[in-house]
Amino acid sequence: MNGIRTYWRARSFSRRQALCGIAAAAGGVLITANGCGGSVLSQPSQFTPTWPPDLPVGNFAPSAADEAFLDALEQQGCLYFWEQANPGNGHVLDHAANDLGGALDTSTTESSIAATGFGLTALCIADQRGYLPHAEIVSRVRTTLDFHLNSMPQENGFFYHFNDFNTGQPLSGSEVSSIDTAILLCGVLTVRAYFDDALIESLATQLYERVNWPWMLNGGATFAQAWYPGTGFASGRYDMYCELMMLYLLAIGSPTFPIAPAYWNNFARPLFSYAGYTYISGGSDPLFTHQYSHAWFDFRSKSDAYANYFTNSILATQAHESFCLAYPSVESAWYNEKYWGITSSDYAGGYTAWGGPPALGPIDGSVVPCAAAGSLVFLPNECLSMLESMRTDWGVDAWGEYGFVDAFHPAANWYCSDVLGIDLGISVLMAENLRTGLIWNTFMSNPECAQAMQLAGFKTQQ
């Protein structure tokens, strides 16, 4: 059996909440304040990693084979955001099977606004590269924006994380999510800048300008992670460096309900060191936290008063690769130069937040392709070489209609049968940014985004 369908996942909570739950349940020895409402214990590694090899970034000069692989990764990923989306409202399924031959996955009606935000951005890539007909893409984008503006339940412009694929109504227990709304809005602003279309521009602008950013502060110095009907704001806050940068910058740049630029200084930026690499990190956060904001905001050659965050993510990726490669072999089931990378994903037991360093979650030798694919812009040579090797080595078990399955563990004969929209999304966007910088250039042409970075104190490095 090549895989099992993993239906249990983060249905009623965000990746950040899943991460908080795993960290809080761990019996570790490293105390870190992780932005989950207090200091928690991060899970220790079962093994002691050995000293890792040096991992220089190097120059990137892709071969024809490299370009062909990246094009396949992008084209097949973009197909997900077309085929597994509702043409009547633009909702993208949170997850779907990777072997349906183009058919809609009817086993689930769970859509997510984050997957939809990645999907809107992916449609720009599909249009630019001619993967899908231009007129049909424009129509789909218009429909998506119109539904989210005029028919989708929202609170002060913020959206519920998980929604019914057909109706748009929030799923039971779903939260109004600050970070997932930010991901959706990044997609909204990308299509506004990319398409020369008055209706798209108008709808997108209204969606962005409707958001009451100060409301989600809930009187505090940092953003609340969520709001629930009936109980109000969750206690967790985005108060420590993670995927939060896009949230703060979108709020600072808002022309209607901005927050003061000084809020940029209010989240902690702790330094974490591993194997000679020192970088800003929450310490126990998976690799996606160093990727998501970078899919849209262009931090290259820019620094604020604290860091060059692009370089910071390079270091985080180097440390992560080193962490994986340093794991001892356990019956040949563990990591090597052709097989490494973990971040929040499905696994044989369901859905989990895992990663390192330090070790977080039930690390069992599984690999998560989007960990490396989401870092293609940071370590292009190492990430691309490894991804190509994985496709060659594991073939159709690991690579299906939409590209890589979400996670797999060949030594255990386990291959997830699903793909996840957000994991495909970060892979597709970073692959295109590596090749052309299309998403960076398009998104940053929004004047609000460029101004937000200036207000936050970013300056170009010479």
From first to last of its 462 residues, the chain has per-residue pLDDT tens of 333 333 334 433 455 555 555 444 433 222 232 333 322 222 323 333 333 334 456 688 899 999 999 999 999 999 999 999 999 999 999 999 999 999 999 999 999 999 999 999 999 999 999 999 999 999 999 999 999 999 999 999 999 999 999 999 999 999 999 999 999 999 999 999 999 999 999 999 999 999 999 999 999 999 999 999 999 999 999 999 999 999 999 999 999 999 999 999 999 999 999 989 999 998 778 999 999 999 999 999 999 999 999 999 999 999 999 999 887 665 556 899 999 999 999 988 889 899 899 989 998 899 999 999 999 999 999 999 999 999 999 999 999 999 999 999 998 999 999 999 999 999 999 999 999 999 999 999 999 999 999 999 999 986
Match 């060659």 to its residue by tokens: 392
DSSP 293: G
Helix (H) or strand (E) run with residue 97 in it: strand 95-97
- Determine how many CB atoms are found less than 10 A away from the CB of residue 222: 20
How far, in Å, CA of 452 to CA of 446, rounded?
A: 10
Fold entry, domain 58-460: Glycosyltransferase (1.50.10)
- For the entire predicted model, the pTM comes to 0.91
What gap in Å lies between CA 36 and CA 22, rounded to an integer?
11
In angstroms, the CA 339 to CA 416 distance is 16
- Burial category of 255 from C-beta neighbours within 10 Å (exposed 0-12, middle 13-18, buried 19 and up): exposed
Lookup: tokens for 244: 């939060």
Gap between the Cα atoms of 452 and 253, Å rounded: 4
Is 297 within 8 Å of 449 (Cβ atoms)? yes
CA 193 to chain centre: 21
Distance CA 61, CA 71 (A): 15
Report whether the peptide linkage leading into residue 357 is cis, meaning its omega lies within 30 degrees of zero.
yes
For 384-422, give one letter per residue: b (16+ CB within 10 A) or e. bebbbebbeebeeebbbbbbbbbbbbbeeebbbbbbbbb
Q: What's the rounded Cα separation, in Å, for the pair 404 and 273?
A: 31
Q: Where are the domains of the chain?
A: 58-460
Q: Are 166 and 93 in contact (CB under 8 A)?
A: no
Query: Which residues make Cβ contacts (< 8 Å) with residue 176, sequence separation at least 6?
Result: 154, 155, 158, 159, 160, 161, 226, 227, 228, 229
